[in-house]
Amino acid sequence: MKHRVGTYCARTDIGRVRLTNEDQALVLANAYGDVMMLVADGMGGHAQGDFASRIAIDVLGDAFRNKNRFWSTGSVKKWLKKTIRHANKQIYQEAQENDEYKDMGTTLVVALIHKNKVIIANVGDSRAYFLLEQKMYRLTEDQTFVDYLFRTGQIKEEEIKSHPRRHVLLNALGITPSVNIDLNVFSYEDQPVMLCSDGLYNNLSNKEIEVVLLTDDSVDQKCDMLIAIANKNGGSDNIAVALWEATT
C-alpha cells in the first residue's frame, strides 16, 4: 500500500478578546497512509471549555494512535462514531461529577483521509473545507440556531453574522448523554483540506482564506498567516486551524 505523503500543521491562538484559549487542533498520520485532522472549540468559559475540548482531542488522538489498519470506509465511519460517542460520554460524566466543569461542552470536526476518500464527522459549528480548483468548498453544515433559521428560509444569509442568537449551538459534545454526529464521505484526490473553528471563519472571508491557501508558502506559514489576519480583523474569538496538503 502506498504511504500518503504530505505536510500538515495545527495551530490555535487566544485571539484578541478572550481571556483563555478553549480551542484545540491536531493532525496525525499513521503508518498505513491515513491522516486524521481534528479541531475542537470548547465552551463553558474559563477552565471548562478548555477541558472539554482537550478531552475530545485526547480521546480521538489516543484512539487513532492505537488503531490498527482501517480495512474500509465503512470501518472508518464505525470507528469515528464509536470514538466520538466515547469522548461525549467522558465529557458528560466529568461535567456531572464535578461542579467546576458543569455545563461544559465542545464542538468537534474531524477529517479522516483513508485511501481515496475523506470521511468528515461534525458536531457543532467548527468547519471542514476543500480547496478545489482554486476555490473553497465547505464540507460541513453549522449546527446552529441561525443556520437552522437560514435553511428554513426565516432569515437571509447576510443576516447570519449579525443575528443576536448567532452563537447558539443546536449540537455539541458533552452536553447530553448521547450525541448526534453528522457523517459524510467525499472523494479525495489529494486536494488541500482545512479545518477551523468559528474564530477563523467569522473573522476572515472565504476570499481572504483562499488567497492565503493559494500562496506557495509552507503549511506552517499559511496557518500563521490565517491567524494573523483573523487577529488583524478583530480577533473576536479563539482561533483554531488545521491544514493538510498532499505532496504529489
pLDDT computed for residue 47 by the predictor: 67
pLDDT computed for residue 45 by the predictor: 65
**pLDDT in single tens digits along all 248 residues of the chain:** 346 889 999 999 999 999 999 999 999 999 999 999 999 999 976 568 999 999 999 999 999 999 999 999 999 999 999 999 999 999 999 999 988 888 899 999 999 999 999 999 999 999 999 999 889 999 999 988 887 787 888 888 777 777 777 777 888 999 999 999 999 999 999 999 999 999 999 999 999 999 999 999 999 999 999 999 999 999 999 999 999 999 86
User: What are the cell numbers at 157?
Assistant: 444569509
Q: Which neighbouring-strand residues pair with 119?
A: 112, 185
pLDDT computed for residue 46 by the predictor: 59
For the chain, strand residue ranges (E) read 6-13, 23-29, 35-43, 105-106, 108-114, 117-123, 127-132, 135-138, 182-187, 193-196, 239-246
pLDDT computed for residue 1 by the predictor: 38
Those residues with Cβ within 8 angstroms of residue 78's Cβ, 6 or more apart along the chain or in another chain: none
Angstrom distance (rounded) from CA 230 to CA 235 = 5
Angstrom distance (rounded) from CA 1 to CA 114 = 12
pLDDT computed for residue 3 by the predictor: 60
This prediction has a pTM of 0.94
